[in-house]
Amino acid sequence: MRRADLTVTEIAHRLGKPHTTIHRWLNDGLQVGGLVVKLRGRRIGHMWSVTEDGLAEFLAACNKRGDDSPVPESVTERSRRAAKAVERARRALAGEGC
C-alpha cells in the first residue's frame, strides 16, 4: 500500500464506525437518496486499501442528502437511538404516574 492509503481498521477508527460497516460500504455501497454510493477502494488479497481522496469523495457524496452529519448513520445506530428514546419516554411516563 502507498503511504496515503488507509485500511478498513483506520477508516473505522477515524469515523467511529465498526469495521463491518466499512466493508459493507466497500462491497455494497450506501443508499443516498435514489443513488447507491460506494466507497472506492482496492482489494489486495483479503485486505482493502482506500485512498484519502476516495474516502473524502465518499463522505462528500453521502452529505449531498442535505444534513450536516459527517458520516451516514447505520441502521443499527438508528435502532439504538430509537430504543433509547423509547426507554426515556417510558421512564418519563412512569415518573408522571401514567
pTM of this prediction? 0.63
Write phi, then psi, for 41 (nearest 5 degrees): -155, 170
Q: Is residue 62 part of a domain?
A: yes
Domains of the chain: total: 1
Rounded mean pLDDT of the chain? 82
CATH of the domain at 23: 1.10.1660
Q: Is residue 95 part of a domain?
A: no
pLDDT tens digits along 39-65: 999 998 989 999 999 999 998 888 775
Q: Is residue 19 part of a domain?
A: yes
**pLDDT band at residue 11 under the 50/70/90 scheme:** very high
Q: Is residue 21 part of a domain?
A: yes
Q: Is residue 94 part of a domain?
A: no
Domain that holds residue 25: 5-70
Q: Is residue 61 part of a domain?
A: yes
The stretches of the chain forming alpha helices (DSSP H) are: 8-15, 19-27, 52-62, 75-96
